[in-house]
Amino acid sequence: MTYLAKPKLHHPSLSKNQAGYTRRDYEGKISTLCAGCGHDSISASIIQACWELDIQPHRVAKLSGIGCSSKTPDYFLGNSHGFNSVHGRMPSVLTGANLANRDLLYLGVSGDGDSASIGLGQFAHCMRRGVNMVYIVENNGVYGLTKGQFSATADKGSKSKRGVVNSDEPLDMIGMALLLGATYVARSFSGDKKQLVPLIKGAIEHKGAAFIDVVSPCIAFNNHAGSTKSYEYVRQHNEAVNRLDFIEDHEEITADYAPGETVTVHQHDGSALRLKKIASDYDATDRVKVMNYLQEHGARGEVITGLLYIDPDSEDLHEHINTVDTPLNQLGAKDLCPGTPALEKINASLR
C-alpha cells in the first residue's frame, strides 16, 4: 500500500498507441493492496495488453465481485466502465451487461474465493453459456482479506502460514472451465509478464468464454515454505506447455525464450494465433487430450501454464440464442416492443 499517488511524470520515450494513448493512460488509481501482491502485476499486465491492442478505454467494462482481486479493477483502466458487484455475483452481472450491450469488451476480474467458493455456481453457468468475455481469476489460495484461511483452490497438503496442513481437495478451476465448455483456457503466473500479457491479449481477441487462471502469490499470507502458491514454489514447478507468440494483425511479441516448433491456430473469425510449442506432445486444440495431460502432470505437482486450450470454432452466447447484431441498449422502443400484432404472430406460431 502506498499513500502517494504515482507521479504523472513518465519516461521521455513513452509512446502513444494507435488509439492515441500512452501506456500510463491505461492506469487506474494507486493500488491499496499489500506491497508485493501478485495482483498488482496482473493489473500491470492488463494495462500493457490493452495498450498494445490499441483498445479504447471507454469500450471496456470491468466487473468484479468481492475480495483482494475484486478491488483491483480500481487500479487499472481508470477511464473504463466498472461494476463492483455482490460477492460471487460478477458472472451474472457480466452476463446481463453483455446481453444488453454486446459491443463492449467485458473483463471479469475475480479471485479464488469469489469464483471458487461463494460464486462457484455463477462461474459454472457463465462458462457453459459461452459469454464473450475475459474472465481472470487471480488465484492465491487464501482468503487474504480475512487473514489467510485456505481457500477452495488451496492444494491438499499445502501449509498455511501458521503451519496448518490443508486436508481438503482443491477445486480445479481450469478443469471445470474445460468441462463446462470454455473456449479459451489459460494458466499463467503473476511473476511472468512475458507469458501473461500475450495470454491476456489472446483472450481479449478471442470470441467466447476466455478463462485465465493466474497464480498470484499472497505476500502477506501465502508466500512461505510449504505453500504451493508462493513465488518460490511456482517458479520451481512452473511448466509452460507453450508460448503465445503472435496474434495476427498485431506486433510480434518478442520474448527471451528458446525457439521451438510453432503452430498457428486459425480461429473462426479469421484471426490467427501463433503458439510456440514447449511441450512437444501438447495439442492445445484437443479438449480431451488437454484434460488428460493436465491431470497427469498436475498429479506430479507441476504447475502447467500457457495457452492450455483453444477452440478455433468458438461461438458465444449471442450466437447461441440468436440475438440481433445491434446491441439491445441501442434498439429503439419500436424494435424492442413491436406491438400486439407481432406478439399475436409469435403466439400463433406456438399453438
Partner 1 sequence: MKPTDISNPDYFHKVVDCQWACPAHTPVPEYIRLIAAGRYDDAYMVNWKSNVFPGILGRTCDRPCEPACRRGRVEEGNVEMRKPTAHEDGPKAEPVAICRLKRVAADNKDDVAARMPKAPKQKNGKRIACIGGGPASLTVARDLAPLGYDITIYESDPKAGGFMRSQVPRFRLPEAVIDEEVGYITGIGNITMRTGQRVDSLKKIIAEGYDAVFVGTGAPRGRDLDVPGRAEAVKNVHLGIDWLASVSFGHIDKIGKKVIVLGGGNTAMDCCRSAKRLGGEDVKVIVRSGYEEMKASPWEKEDAIEEGIPILNFMVPKSCTVKDGKLTGMTFEKVKAEYDAKGRRNLVPTGEPEQFVECDDVLVAIGQENAFPWIERDAGLEFDKWNMPVVDKITFQSTHPKVFFGGDAAFGPKNIIWAVAHGHEVAVSIDKMMNNEDLQDRPLPAVAVVSQKMGIHEWSYDNDVSASLRHKVPWQDQKLTLKNIKVEVELGFDAKAGLAEAQRCLNCDVQTVFAPRLCIECDACVDICPMDCITFTPNGEEADVRKRLTAPSLHADQDIYASEPLRMTGRIMAKDEDVCLHCGLCAERCPTGAWDMQKYLVQMTHAGPGCRKPQRKAA
Q: Which of 82, 175, 181, 191 binds partner 1 (CB under 8 A)?
A: 191
Taken in order 244, 249, 253, 254, is the CA torsion positive or negative?
A: positive
Using CB under 8 A as the binding rule, whether residue 331 contacts partner 1 is answered as no
Using CB under 8 A as the binding rule, whether residue 20 contacts partner 1 is answered as no
The neighbour count for residue 92, using CB atoms within 10 Å, is: 17
| Cβ-based nearer residue to partner 1, 13 or 349 | 13
Using CB under 8 A as the binding rule, whether residue 44 contacts partner 1 is answered as yes
Using CB under 8 A as the binding rule, whether residue 34 contacts partner 1 is answered as yes
| Cβ-based nearer residue to partner 1, 9 or 299 | 9
User: Which residues are CB-neighbours of 219 under 8 A, at least 6 positions away?
Assistant: 34, 35, 36, 37, 38
CA dihedral 114, 47, 45, 62 (to 10 degrees): 20
Q: Which of 37, 94, 182, 199 binds partner 1 (CB under 8 A)?
A: 37
d(CA 317, CA 313) in angstroms, rounded, equals 14
Distance in Å, CB of 219 to partner 1, minimum: 5
Using CB under 8 A as the binding rule, whether residue 6 contacts partner 1 is answered as yes
Distance in Å, CB of 12 to partner 1, minimum: 4
Using CB under 8 A as the binding rule, whether residue 167 contacts partner 1 is answered as no
Distance in Å, CB of 232 to partner 1, minimum: 6
Using CB under 8 A as the binding rule, whether residue 96 contacts partner 1 is answered as no
**Phi-psi domain of 339 (left: phi exceeds 0; alpha: psi -120 through 50; beta: other):** left
Distance in Å, CB of 39 to partner 1, minimum: 10
Q: Which of 193, 207, 229, 243 binds partner 1 (CB under 8 A)?
A: 193
Q: Are strands 60-64 and 81-84 parallel, antiparallel or unpaired?
A: parallel
Distance in Å, CB of 22 to partner 1, minimum: 10
Backbone angles phi, psi at 86, to 5 degrees: -65, 160
Using CB under 8 A as the binding rule, whether residue 9 contacts partner 1 is answered as yes
Q: Which of 25, 26, 28, 43 binds partner 1 (CB under 8 A)?
A: 43
Q: Which candidate, 309, 189, 198, places its Cα nearest to that of 255? A: 198
Q: Are strands 272-277 and 238-240 parallel, antiparallel or unpaired?
A: unpaired
Q: Which residues, 214 to 253, sit near partner 1 by CB under 8 A?
A: 217, 219, 223, 231-232, 235
Using CB under 8 A as the binding rule, whether residue 314 contacts partner 1 is answered as no
What residue type is assigned to position 344 of the chain?
A: E
Q: Which residue in this structure is represented by grid cell 450466437? A: 319
Strand stretches in the chain, DSSP E: 60-64, 81-84, 105-111, 133-139, 142-143, 149-150, 184-189, 209-215, 238-240, 242-247, 262-266, 272-277, 303-310
Using CB under 8 A as the binding rule, whether residue 268 contacts partner 1 is answered as no
Using CB under 8 A as the binding rule, whether residue 136 contacts partner 1 is answered as no
| Cβ-based nearer residue to partner 1, 27 or 311 | 27
Contact residues toward partner 1 (CB under 8 A) are 1-4, 6-14, 24, 34-38, 40-41, 43-44, 190-191, 193, 217, 219, 223, 231-232, 235, 256
